[in-house]
Amino acid sequence: MKNDSTTVAAHSHASHPAGLALVIGAIGVVFGDIGTSPLYTLKEAFSPHYGLQNDHNTVLGVLSLAFWALNIVVTLKYVTIIMRADNDGEGGIMALMALVQRTLRNGSRSAYIVGILGIFGASLFFGDGVITPAITVMGAVEGLEVAAPGLDAFIVPITLVVLAALFAAQRFGTARVGKVFGPVMCLWFIALAAIGAWNVIEAPEVLKALNPWWGMRFFTEHGWHGIFIFGAVVLAVTGGEALYADMGHFGAPPIRHGWYFFVLPCLMLNYLGQGAVVLLRPDAVANPFFEAVPGWALYPMIVLATMAAVIASQSVITGAYSVSRQAMQLGYIPRMRIKHTSHDTIGQIYIPAINWGLAALVFGLVLAFRSSSNLAVAYGISVSATMLIDTLLLALIARTLWPRMRYWILALCAVFLVLDICFVVANGTKLMQGAWFPVALGIVLFTMMRTWRRGRELLREETSKEGIKLDVFLPGLMLAPPVRVPGTAVFLTASPSVTPHALLHNLKHNKVLHERNVFLTVETLNIPYAPVERRLKIESIGGDDFYRATVRYGFMETPDVPVALMRSCDQCDLTFNPMDTTYFVSRESIVAGRRRGMPIWRDKLFAFMHRNAATATNFFRIPGNRLVELGAQVEI
Q: Which range, of 78-87, 103-112, 545-554, averages the lowest pLDDT? A: 103-112
pLDDT digit string, tens, across residues 216-228: 999 988 877 788 8
Give the per-residue pLDDT at 181.
84
Give the per-residue pLDDT at 568.
58
Q: What is the CATH number of domain 24-434?
A: 1.20.1740
Which amino acid, residue 426?
A
pLDDT band at 346; cut points 50, 70, 90: low
Q: Note if the pTM is more than 0.85.
A: no
* Cα distance between residue 567 and residue 565, in whole Å: 5
* Cα distance between residue 245 and residue 5, in whole Å: 20
DSSP 131-158: HHHHHHHHHHHTHHHHH-GGGGGGHHHH
Mean pLDDT, the chain, rounded, equals 85
Q: What is the 3-state secondary structure (H, E, C) of 557-608?
A: CCCCHHHHHHHHHHCCCCCCCHHHEEEEEEEEEEECCCCCCCCHHHHHHHHH
> Residue 547's closest CA among 465, 488, 460?
488
Give the per-residue pLDDT at 389.
92
* Cα distance between residue 338 and residue 352, in whole Å: 8
Q: Are 421 and 436 in contact (CB under 8 A)?
A: no
pLDDT digit string, tens, across residues 509-565: 888 899 999 999 998 887 878 888 888 888 888 777 899 999 998 877 878 888 888
Q: Are 469 and 498 in contact (CB under 8 A)?
A: yes
Q: Which range, of 135-144, 394-403, 456-465, averages the lowest pLDDT? A: 456-465
Q: How many CA atoms lie within 13 A of 207 on its CB side?
A: 8
Phi, psi of 499 (to 5 degrees): -65, 125
Q: Is the pLDDT of residue 3 over 50?
A: no
Residue span(s) of the chain under CATH 1.20.1740 come to: 24-434
Q: Which range, of 317-326, 450-459, 490-499, averages the lowest pLDDT? A: 317-326
> Residue 461's closest CA among 330, 604, 332, 635?
635
β 483-492/512-524 pair status? parallel
* SS3 call for 426: helix
> Residue 88's closest CA among 401, 529, 578?
529
* Cα distance between residue 189 and residue 105, in whole Å: 46
Q: Which range, of 16-20, 232-236, 296-300, 317-321, averages the lowest pLDDT? A: 16-20
Q: Is the pLDDT of residue 61 over 90?
A: yes
Give the per-residue pLDDT at 257.
92
* Helix locations, 229-339, DSSP H: 230-233, 240-245, 247-250, 252-258, 264-280, 288-291, 298-329
pLDDT band at 18; cut points 50, 70, 90: very low
pLDDT digit string, tens, across residues 182-194: 899 999 999 999 9
